[in-house]
Structure 1
Amino acid sequence: MEVSIRSLFEAPTVAGLVDWLDEGDRVRKPLERRVRPDILPVSFAQRRLWFLGQLEGVSATYNIPLALRLTGALDVEALRAALADVAGRHESLRTVFPQVDGEPRQEILAGADGVPECVVEQVSEAGVPAAVAAVVTVGFDLERDLPWRVRVLDVTDTPGECVLVLVVHHIAADGWSMGPLVRDLSVAYAARCQGEAPVWDELPVQYADYSLWQREILGDEDDPDSVIAAQEGYWKQALADLPEQLELPVDHPRPVVASHEGASVGVRVSAETHVRLVELSRSCGASMLMTVQAALAVLLSKMGAGEDIPIGTPIAGRTDDALDDLVGFFVNTLVLRTDLSGDPTFRQALERVRETDLAAYAHQDVPFERLVEILNPARSMARHPLFQVMLTVQHHAPLLSTFRRATAGSTTESGLVLPDLAVRPEPVEGTVAKFDLSVSLGETHDDSTPAGLEGRLDYRTDLFDRATVEHLARRLIQLLDAVATSPDAPVRQVNVLGTAERERVLRVWNDTARERPGATLTQLFEAHVARTPDASAVVSDELELTYAQLNERADRLARHLAGKGAGPEHAVGLWMERSADLVTALLAVLKTGAHYVPLHEGHPPSRRRLVMADCAAELLVTDRPAEVAEFAGTAEIICVDEVLRAAPAPGPVKPAGAAGADGLAYVMYTSGSTGEPKGVAATHRGVADLVLDRCWETDNHERVLFHSPHAFDASTFELWAPLLSGATIVVAPPGNLDALSLEQLIKVHDITGVVLTAGLFRVIAEQDADCFSGVREVLTGGDVVSPVAVR
């Protein structure tokens, strides 16, 4: 007799559940099967997939594809009859999910409505990959479509060759289900080829029974003595303060909505390492999953993910033998948290993993979907909740390996029997990536001897480039080799770089030896004056100066300053608006051997007086003589306009002594937000080191926009990068500039290099990205840089 848990759904109490237990052993008891409703509640796992389907719409994200190359005489009619047999045997394969009062329900179809259509299509050999992809990448309308489809691709180039493509939506099946599905299909096909109906043992329960039993057995969340309440309490504590998102070494900004388009790279761990990993696992009382989990967590931590690493792993969820042969969505997902704080050895990390995992297994009944609802993390269509990296380790070769060994009329451990047909796997292109990264490994054995770990690393192509994931795969293999050999070494000492990579980081990238500038900023500038005197040096609204003209004006002002006592070890204050004259004044101060101290026009008078007194400046260069009364009696005022309008004095600048490359170029004061403002001194050599470093592409400095306040350190780059590379400073108008004004300046003046704060960069890029069409380099920072702006 078929046992129906569904009868409990109609019962006024759940007392009948005790009949399923006999002195602590799970022994099935026959229960009277009652007339049941056609529309029933979904399981917790089904509800989440249905909900995601509502968010994403019809998609292939949760398709489970299987493609098999069949060589021989395929009996299509027998196949169609076998598909009907399998659909009749497994209710999950003929279930649709309509909404009732806004909630999904299981509706089990009967008769022809519950049988999938088996379509035969003719394709050429060259067209097989595209035809397979066309089948497996089409989504299911869960309210109307049966949750599986079957296509036979008749390969016209080769008589007797076809490809059987079978796709099941995850809401109706899980990975385990593919075994009974293929086995039952094979049994039914073999029988139908003989003109007979398949003979098999009746299934004790159906998936709808399980979904009702699941709700009943877990109990009421409001009952503190229920299974669900106790396990939920554990998970709330175990996953408290879980990282919202792992920081992974992605190549592309995370999109607002994940595409779920994926690809894979292979992973192969040697037999020698496998043997050592088995020995290490046994010595720690751990499983291979725990050992690989610890290694994967160490790798992710070393790649920048931190010390708190949540990793997801599937668990079969078939807690009763009666479910083993049933097609359905039983698999649950556990969040396994790895703590790498405190610099543990790998063995210590593995012991932590073992303790955490064993506790998780003891509380595995809470459906992941319910866990998400309880913990209520920040929801995002850009990432999977609670974890973004999945790990699967099987203790045997994956199911697909059985197909590799299949031959005509043979029986494999999966129960696959296809009379008169040779069967082999057909590649399926277009991997779907549900997670950022997914590591799937299976242990292989030569008789009983470990023969290596084989698998793949799936990844989201909207986040990673293939080369990056290939590096990750190699590093995982190398890390497993290392920890298997030296498990008692601290994880911080584990090397994840290959020999060539390590050489590149330590030697090539760190080869900073070069000839440092031994000249002052003015000497470097004057070299360009001699080389390209007629090249444009400064452009502003009021005038344009060549290198020769700028040098002549700076010399004229420098002679005046030198006559007033400016020279080495002397500070000269600058209180000026942004202008071509300001550039002239900076050069002039340096030509005397003195260093300049910029004053911010937006700061209060008390701040300006403090700066002038602290640096002992006795000269103040300004373009606003009417506003400098606050310095009367403390500093001599030099008005730039008056000096430059006066007749030029003859002769070169005669500073009291050369400042030298290690002499001060300027002193710039901090904001004072944590105390009194402090002067930060920069030398000529320091500024030249910055702007002439080979990390900058000097061609990008052809036209640099000078828009930062000259009392802000970003102005150092804006001024000296172009002047020391023979390029042009484009001076923005004085005062505060909004985003629209900067957009116009960038476009009108054909700017090639610009420095912007992260916030300003985001505003400009998002409202007018075209203004950057001629820009070759944007230097930005100070806050999180917007991925949208970067794109």
Structure 2
Amino acid sequence: TGTTMYMVLQASMAALMNRLGAGTDIPIGSGVAGRTDENLDELVGFFVNTFVLRTDTADNPAFTDLLDQVRRTSLEAYAHQDVPFQYLVEKLNPHRSAAHHPLFQVALVLQNNEEAHFDLPGLRADSETWPTGTARFDAFISMHESYDSDGMPMGMPGTVEFSTELYDRATIETLIERWTQLLRAVAADPSQRIGALNILAPHERLDHLVQPERTEITDSTLPELFEARVQAAPSAPAVDGGDVSWTYEELNERANRIAHWLTSRGVGAEDLVGVVLPRSAEQVAVILGIVKAGAGYLPVDPDYPADRVAYMLTDAAPRVVLTTSQLASGFPGALALEDLTEDWERQPVTNPTDTDRVAPLTAANTAYTIYTSGSTGRPKGVTVTHTGLASLTVTHLERFALSPDSRVLQFASPGFDAAVWELVMALTTGAVLVVPRSRRLVGEELARQLAERRITHVTLPPSALGTMPAGSESALVDLAMLVVAGEACSPDLAERWSQGRRMIN
């Protein structure tokens, strides 16, 4: 093929990075000796120049085609190897950052020069590699060809220098193992497309092959998922609001009354109902009642600034807005729950069907609309259908070890999608949704709620997790599942809180 060993290594590394999610434009840094001038042959000095080799992996090429592309690119680069790297950086003027190299983050070199010998009378000299304790790139891979005394190849050992702020040793070892598997696949059949090359170790392939079949997932709606749990265990606790606690049957009946009241007012599929309520058991019943009626709910945190709330309600234009009598004065046209209690009590407690609804309810209908934070301008409404909620339920059951004894904390503000995650985690799996009485959960108050309410499952941003007093991680003996999300979690925090429980980041 007219290619060198380095070209094979570069093409295979580009293919691996593409397979691992690095995109299709793969820049890899390398070095060239910089001794093209014969006058430098006898001169002692370091003339190595850095250059960047880009590889295009778009359209899933065959490895042979990718290798041919790498050959052409490399020969063109070698023809301009005397151009100083710093000059190239100045001309390209990329966005600069102190956190990484300007044009590439992974470097690959192959040491294939003839081993030099330096002998003096009565003195033996050997070369030694001495680590600096610093990483010049995210990852710097250095390989060298090895031969026996007869000149026969003995493999290709190498070293990887990597940034410990980005990777740990296990991650780099896995990277090299995948690279080795890919090279074996290339050696067996270089005509394969890079997307078909095996990068899994034998034990990983076995694990993949013997995975148990996932539960069959149907396009169920949130009401169907919840009602299945009601039917399975009607007397099991469903929501614990501190002052108010309901079983699955009691919560279902409360939600059904609200749903029938909404349908009697003509509210149904693709309508929105505003929910301006703090976290409470009643808020959970209202949300379930809205989706049972076939409508979607618009959660609005009462603590939001007045202008943000006004914009959301104007922009979304809900058919009905439900709130409390204490908050009603701030929302013209809103209905207070306290004023609706008698009307709701007169409604049927049976599960609404499509016969009762204004229009049939399907998984393609709107389940809820949540507004973004508006940090880049005006908040934007995002409409989410019921599609995917069944899959989320199955994932929770398979990965989160949920049972009727599990107690899930409703930590998230009503206006964040994490609140939906928590609701689905509890009420579609048979667990208990625990609604805290405190409006602000951080520090000692968060630790107290987790302990006193015997929380087993919680989802928190790392910034909230880090506010709890030292020792909380071992004192919270009931906490079996901790999910951290929304922000980067520091290694120290993960180390503290992952002991004795399952922690998912």
Cα distance in 1 for residues equivalent to 2:184 and 2:351 = 66
- Tell me the CA shift for residue 454 of structure 1: 1.6
Note the residue ranges of structure 2 that are not aligned, 5 or more in a row: 301-308, 495-505
Cα distance in 1 for residues equivalent to 2:395 and 2:181 = 40
- For 1:667, give the aligned amino acid: A
Which residue, out of 343, 349, 364, partners 1:653? Answer: 349
- Tell me the CA shift for residue 521 of structure 1: 0.9
- Tell me the CA shift for residue 431 of structure 1: 7.2
| 3-state SS of paired residue (2:100) | coil
| 3-state SS of paired residue (1:577) | coil
- Tell me the CA shift for residue 581 of structure 1: 1.9
Structure 1 pair 342/702, CA: closer, same or farther in 2 (3 Å)?
same
- Tell me the CA shift for residue 555 of structure 1: 3.4
- Tell me the CA shift for residue 485 of structure 1: 4.2
- For 1:729, give the aligned amino acid: V
Cα distance in 1 for residues equivalent to 2:293 and 2:435 = 25
Structure 1 pair 516/359, CA: closer, same or farther in 2 (3 Å)?
closer
Which residue, out of 749, 774, 789, partners 2:449? Answer: 749
Question: What percentage of residue pairs aligned between the two structures are identical?
Answer: 28
Which residue, out of 496, 503, 520, partners 2:199? Answer: 496
- For 1:465, give the aligned amino acid: D
Preserved CA contact (<8 Å) 1:345 1:488: yes
Preserved CA contact (<8 Å) 2:140 2:162: yes
**1:277-316 matched pairs, under 5 angstroms:** 283=1, 285-316=2-33
Query: Is 1:365 matched up with 2:93?
Result: no
Preserved CA contact (<8 Å) 1:666 1:683: no
Preserved CA contact (<8 Å) 2:144 2:157: yes
Instruction: Look up the match of 2:142.
Output: 439
- Tell me the CA shift for residue 716 of structure 1: 2.1
Instruction: Look up the match of 2:435.
Output: 730
- For 1:599, give the aligned amino acid: L
Query: Is 1:702 matched up with 2:407?
Result: yes
- For 1:716, give the aligned amino acid: V
Cα deviation digits, residues 499-554 of structure 1 (max 9, x gap)? 4323434652x8423688996414515755624x5xx9333xxx522334x85476
Preserved CA contact (<8 Å) 2:259 2:352: no
Cα distance in 1 for residues equivalent to 2:288 and 2:469 = 35
Cα deviation digits, residues 326-345 of structure 1 (max 9, x gap)? 54323333322223334333
Preserved CA contact (<8 Å) 1:574 1:599: yes
Instruction: Look up the match of 2:304.
Output: none
Instruction: Look up the match of 1:86.
Output: none
Cα deviation digits, residues 403-448 of structure 1 (max 9, x gap)? xxxxxxxxxx725467598x99999788765431313121537857
Query: Is 1:478 matched up with 2:177?
Result: no
Which residue, out of 579, 582, 605, partners 2:283? Answer: 582
Cα distance in 2 for residues equivalent to 1:594 and 1:691 = 26
Cα distance in 2 for residues equivalent to 1:777 and 1:568 = 42
- For 1:580, give the aligned amino acid: A
Cα distance in 2 for residues equivalent to 1:701 and 1:418 = 78
Cα distance in 2 for residues equivalent to 1:562 and 1:465 = 56
Instruction: Look up the match of 1:715.
Output: 419
- For 2:407, give the aligned amino acid: E
Cα distance in 2 for residues equivalent to 1:514 and 1:628 = 44
Preserved CA contact (<8 Å) 1:445 1:452: yes
Query: Is 1:641 matched up with 2:358?
Result: no
Instruction: Look up the match of 2:239.
Output: 537
Cα distance in 1 for residues equivalent to 2:208 and 2:266 = 41
Instruction: Look up the match of 1:555.
Output: 253
- For 1:521, give the aligned amino acid: F
Cα deviation digits, residues 462-486 of structure 1 (max 9, x gap)? 1333333333333333333333443
- Tell me the CA shift for residue 456 of structure 1: 1.1
TM-score normalized with structure 2 length: 0.69
- Tell me the CA shift for residue 589 of structure 1: 5.9
**1:162-177 matched pairs, under 5 angstroms:** none
Cα distance in 2 for residues equivalent to 1:586 and 1:642 = 18
Preserved CA contact (<8 Å) 1:517 1:688: no
TM-score normalized with structure 1 length: 0.47
- For 2:240, give the aligned amino acid: V
Instruction: Look up the match of 1:668.
Output: 368
- For 1:583, give the aligned amino acid: V
Structure 1 pair 646/301, CA: closer, same or farther in 2 (3 Å)?
closer
Which residue, out of 451, 454, 459, partners 2:153? Answer: 451
| 3-state SS of paired residue (2:153) | strand
Structure 1 pair 721/365, CA: closer, same or farther in 2 (3 Å)?
same
Structure 1 pair 313/552, CA: closer, same or farther in 2 (3 Å)?
closer
- Tell me the CA shift for residue 749 of structure 1: 1.9
- Tell me the CA shift for residue 748 of structure 1: 4.2
Cα distance in 1 for residues equivalent to 2:392 and 2:21 = 33
Structure 1 pair 594/745, CA: closer, same or farther in 2 (3 Å)?
farther
- Tell me the CA shift for residue 580 of structure 1: 2.9
Cα distance in 1 for residues equivalent to 2:255 and 2:370 = 28
Cα distance in 2 for residues equivalent to 1:333 and 1:560 = 69
Larger radius of gyration: 1
Preserved CA contact (<8 Å) 1:295 1:476: yes
- For 2:169, give the aligned amino acid: R
Structure 1 pair 473/394, CA: closer, same or farther in 2 (3 Å)?
same
- For 2:168, give the aligned amino acid: D
Query: Is 1:778 matched up with 2:483?
Result: yes
| RMSD, matched Cα | 5.0
**1:54-203 matched pairs, under 5 angstroms:** none
**1:321-332 matched pairs, under 5 angstroms:** 321=38, 323-332=40-49
Preserved CA contact (<8 Å) 2:277 2:324: yes
Cα distance in 2 for residues equivalent to 1:479 and 1:762 = 37
Preserved CA contact (<8 Å) 2:412 2:418: no
Instruction: Look up the match of 1:113.
Output: none
- Tell me the CA shift for residue 764 of structure 1: 4.8
- For 1:778, give the aligned amino acid: V
Preserved CA contact (<8 Å) 1:705 1:753: no
Cα distance in 2 for residues equivalent to 1:294 and 1:688 = 39
**1:260-271 matched pairs, under 5 angstroms:** none
Preserved CA contact (<8 Å) 2:12 2:179: yes
- Tell me the CA shift for residue 289 of structure 1: 1.9
- For 1:492, give the aligned amino acid: G
- For 1:464, give the aligned amino acid: Y
- Tell me the CA shift for residue 594 of structure 1: 3.3
**1:625-640 matched pairs, under 5 angstroms:** 630=333, 640=337
- Tell me the CA shift for residue 694 of structure 1: 1.5
Tell me the matched-pair count. 452
